[in-house]
């Protein structure tokens, strides 16, 4: 059994021997990998390997790129000196935020047809007319369409409930295009003014919510009960669908760590309830 440094040196020599100039080492799910170890000893042994890779990269043609869902500190009980050395050896840190998610939506997840910008502008104008408090600028609306801006902000605040950025990408893709394997119906065949609203967050992550003791009351008991009440109390199918969406949005605000409960006007905007552009109060009044 050879030392880690010897194994790494042998690997780099083999790379050069094959005519390559260097080695790129990609590690996905690094925090999950460390957390999967059975005890602190194994975890610290892997952490020292990371330290070695970082030290080697200072003087050898080695590039290490690691994806960490959480901070490295959250990856378990790693010895403080080793943790400090890892941070010193990996000075370049790229943080993903909702700004990057917006770029992903615009450039990769949603491809708009020629002439779509004019139609998107008309939809943005309709939201501005029906909901005077709608504060989303046109440029942002165009970039993230057909995702409602509040949907993105709620996803950011609820990131602790799921693998944040990968979960958001999966959410946007599946809820827009649909995923028959999971029984998810996309929204591309719905009216163009119907945005991907926050109620879709609940639908997508309700199974995840059920795993948390603080939140499982909602998917296990409260939402199914209210759905039954809605079916009994509201005769029109479209109104029932709206009521169910409102319940799910209110659940998200109930579990959000910082968001204030939404007003009827905000709920009307999120659900795209456009009854009378000439009288926006009717939209909020109907929702109330």
pLDDT higher than 90, residue 266:
yes
pLDDT higher than 90, residue 26:
yes
pLDDT higher than 90, residue 38:
no
- ∠ Cα 201 205 211 (to 5°): 145
The pLDDT tens digits of the residues spanning 111-151 come to 888 999 999 999 999 999 999 999 999 999 999 999 999 99
Burial of 189 (C-beta count, 10 Å sphere; 0-12/13-18/19+): exposed
Closest CA to 277 of 138, 135, 126: 126
pTM: predicted TM-score of the whole model, two decimal places: 0.75
More confident residue, 140 or 157: 140
Q: How many CA atoms lie within 13 A of 128 on its CB side?
A: 11
What is the rounded CA–CA span in Å between residue 268 and residue 276? 12
**pLDDT of 250:** 97
Are 250 and 237 in contact by the 8 Å Cβ rule? The answer is no
**pLDDT of 106:** 87
């Amino acid at each position: 059994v050879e030392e880690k440094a010897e194994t790494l040196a042998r690997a780099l020599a083999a790379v050069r021997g094959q005519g390559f100039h260097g080695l790129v080492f990609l590690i996905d799910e690094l925090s999950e990998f460390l957390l999967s170890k059975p005890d602190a000893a194994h975890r610290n042994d892997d952490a020292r390997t990371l330290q070695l890779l970082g030290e080697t990269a200072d003087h050898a043609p080695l590039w290490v790129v690691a994806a960490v869902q959480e901070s490295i500190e959250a990856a378990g009980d790693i010895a403080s000196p080793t943790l400090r050395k890892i941070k010193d050896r990996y000075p370049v840190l790229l943080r993903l935020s909702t700004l990057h998610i917006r770029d992903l939506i615009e450039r990769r997840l949603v491809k708009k047809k020629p002439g779509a910008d004019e139609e998107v502008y008309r939809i943005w104008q309709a939201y501005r007319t029906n909901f005077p408090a709608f504060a989303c600028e046109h440029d942002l609306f165009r970039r993230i369409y057909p995702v409602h801006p509040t949907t993105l902000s709620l996803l950011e605040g609820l990131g602790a409930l799921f693998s944040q950025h990968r979960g958001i990408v999966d959410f946007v893709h599946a809820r827009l295009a649909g995923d028959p394997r999971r029984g998810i119906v996309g929204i591309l065949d719905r009216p163009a003014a119907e945005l991907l609203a926050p109620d879709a967050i609940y639908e997508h992550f309700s199974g995840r919510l059920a795993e948390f003791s603080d939140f499982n009351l909602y998917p296990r008991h409260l939402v199914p009960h209210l759905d039954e009440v809605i079916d009994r109390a509201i005769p029109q199918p479209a109104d029932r669908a709206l009521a169910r969406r409102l319940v799910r949005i209110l659940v998200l605000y109930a579990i959000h760590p910082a968001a204030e409960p939404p007003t009827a006007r905000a709920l009307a905007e999120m659900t795209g309830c456009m009854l009378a552009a000439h009288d926006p109060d009717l939209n909020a009044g109907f929702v109330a």
